[in-house]
Structure 1
């Protein structure tokens, strides 16, 4: 199987990058999400390159090619290459020597299969030659991709012990790609759910944002709640609120609005601003994200009135009222507020003084 030619390869910076890293000679390949999504006809995945070249050699070659080389993770073999219209992460082939939950001691290698063995899921361990596009598959990722199956490489329990974040990634990728959730992976994630307590809350927040930002994650969120996945870190998320999440997703679509993960998170919480504020603090959300979450859990207030709730929008801002109305399933009432800005009094104090 061959990967369709990515657009970035045609850019001068892309050509320079591939030439610098001897891609045509087989020293460097595209890997991970860019291969997976490219085979599915999806766009937008980050550019990740795996190379047999050592990190200092990568740095030297990029500089000689006129590309910026940023040593973003030299200890783990990663250099970020920056050129006009292109940003790519270049990582030397690795094998794990020892893992510590989220961090691993690695050794560099020139064996593609060793590098593939340390990755999480089979569909993320596909490598493509550039510029030809020939795909190399060491763990059955192509078959899993065709079957829309998200499957751990090796023993799921062991892979989760190596990196606890893989629990949340398993569900996120299943929500995005899977036709049916893999039973072995689900059992392992359920058994090791308490491992999530060892993760930083920022990482949990990022995975939650990516999951809830998918077109329709309701079925996977329901499965996670059923299996107690959130219980160790977000016990406030309640299965009783799942119909509200489904209603919110439907209302977003009816109103023609893109998914908003803060709004969807609010739909899973009780209508309690203290709970929302506590979760915002626990997940270390930014101030705008915390404020939006707290505002969204409050009752819509003006839902029962005829016409758009302009008073509430003027007082609390259009976004807050739109969130509340969509959570209440009232897309029609929310639609007139989309793009609405609070009007400003055309006369100021300076005008009055001048008169």
Structure 2
């Protein structure tokens, strides 16, 4: 039965047509097909973000064809067959059909081919080994990709152990794709292969692992995938500090923030968080967010008053405060009203600047030096304790400089 993509604006957009026309002008009709995620997501009614194209043209031919059509060509991975075309300010990643010559668990040496089945055979999952022509007709060399996509089955192309040994990151990708597109129990053969080969993940770069982990945690509901990942020993291999406790389920119920989900997997211990972030080489923003939330947590409680909350907000910042509130909320899911009140306060409050400085002290006769810093710190402490009064600063500062005699 012929399957055809319908009602897909990206498929008929002028930029898409221009790129396909450029390739077919060089290689003839049918030399280029859409591949992977754009086809899969179109089939299952999910948004299409990136448009990838597979072609029988060699990389140099692709580059010339794109330029001949007046479009921009960027050789983003030409050794592996990839050229990025830019049309209408939109990138299209175009890759020559390939077969693996050798693999080492991280990288592959490839040879180019004109055989669509060979190209499909080297892909990870059957629902990703899908192609569609310019008219939207879908081709599935494995014979199972469409059915898998519609049923929510994440099944490796061919032998799962062979696919994993080619690239051990596919272990994490299995759980990530199950979180995003899977339904029901994970494929048993895939789980067994992941469990058996988990030690191979030590050969991967920390950046690849952390990136894949964050994509997994960004899924609408990663709970089932994370549970399977923990049961297979993969979570312990990737993040041995992590504990898949009820906090994680509660954090997922709060919403889709992967940073919060990662935070509740880790203990609220600054040193442990720093070590984990350094080992997995998280982006600086992610690392800092985890550390600052751990530092803020001891000062945050769901019963705190608005005045107490403003003091913590001032000292730790809105992001760390809000993350700490969300952890407390995960610890006490029935306290949602208190948590929402504090989160709303953090979203609406603007941190006021310290209303006095060294010049104000100089006018009171205090010379620059350590005493200036001590007095400003004492003023700030009292000002925070009084809930940031808007007036009376000169009098308070003067009292600190010349305290009244008893």
Q: TM-score, normalised by structure 2?
A: 0.80
Three-state SS of the structure 2 residue aligned to 1:271 is: coil
The 5 Å alignment of 1:10-49 reads: 10-22=12-24, 25-49=29-53
Aligned to 1:94: 98
Aligned to 2:284: 287
- Counterpart Cα distance in 1 of 2:118 and 2:350: 55
Three-state SS of the structure 1 residue aligned to 2:282 is: coil
The 5 Å alignment of 1:150-299 reads: 150-180=154-184, 181-239=186-244, 242-250=245-253, 252-253=254-255, 259-298=256-295, 299=297
Aligned to 1:256: none
Aligned to 2:127: 123
The alpha-carbon deviation at position 63 of structure 1 amounts to 0.7
Aligned to 1:302: 300
**1:319 to 2:316 alignment:** no
Three-state SS of the structure 1 residue aligned to 2:193 is: helix
C-alpha distance 134-351 of structure 1, shift in aligned 2 (>3 A): farther
Q: Contact conserved, 2:11 with 2:136, CA < 8 A, in 1?
A: no
C-alpha distance 129-348 of structure 1, shift in aligned 2 (>3 A): farther
User: Greater shift after overlay, 164-173 or 178-187?
Assistant: 178-187
Aligned to 2:395: none
Aligned to 2:10: 8
The 5 Å alignment of 1:63-74 reads: 63-74=67-78
Task: Considering Cα pairs closer than 8 Å and 6+ residues apart, tell me whether 1 or 2 has the greater RCO.
Answer: 1
Give the number of the structure whose residues are more often helix, by fraction: 2
The alpha-carbon deviation at position 40 of structure 1 amounts to 1.2
The alpha-carbon deviation at position 11 of structure 1 amounts to 4.0
- Counterpart Cα distance in 2 of 1:163 and 1:5: 35
Three-state SS of the structure 1 residue aligned to 2:321 is: helix
Three-state SS of the structure 2 residue aligned to 1:110 is: coil
Q: Contact conserved, 2:36 with 2:52, CA < 8 A, in 1?
A: yes
The alpha-carbon deviation at position 82 of structure 1 amounts to 1.3
- Structure 1: segments with no counterpart, 5+ residues: 254-258
Q: Deviations over 1:131-172 (max 9, x none)?
A: x10000122011111211000010001110011010000000
Q: Contact conserved, 2:42 with 2:48, CA < 8 A, in 1?
A: no
Higher-Rg structure is 2
User: Greater shift after overlay, 44-53 or 164-173?
Assistant: 44-53
C-alpha distance 25-205 of structure 1, shift in aligned 2 (>3 A): same
- Structure 2: segments with no counterpart, 5+ residues: 330-335, 364-406
C-alpha distance 44-143 of structure 1, shift in aligned 2 (>3 A): closer
- Counterpart Cα distance in 1 of 2:324 and 2:90: 39
The alpha-carbon deviation at position 347 of structure 1 amounts to 7.2
User: Greater shift after overlay, 214-223 or 110-119?
Assistant: 214-223
- Counterpart Cα distance in 2 of 1:294 and 1:168: 25
- Counterpart Cα distance in 2 of 1:149 and 1:348: 63
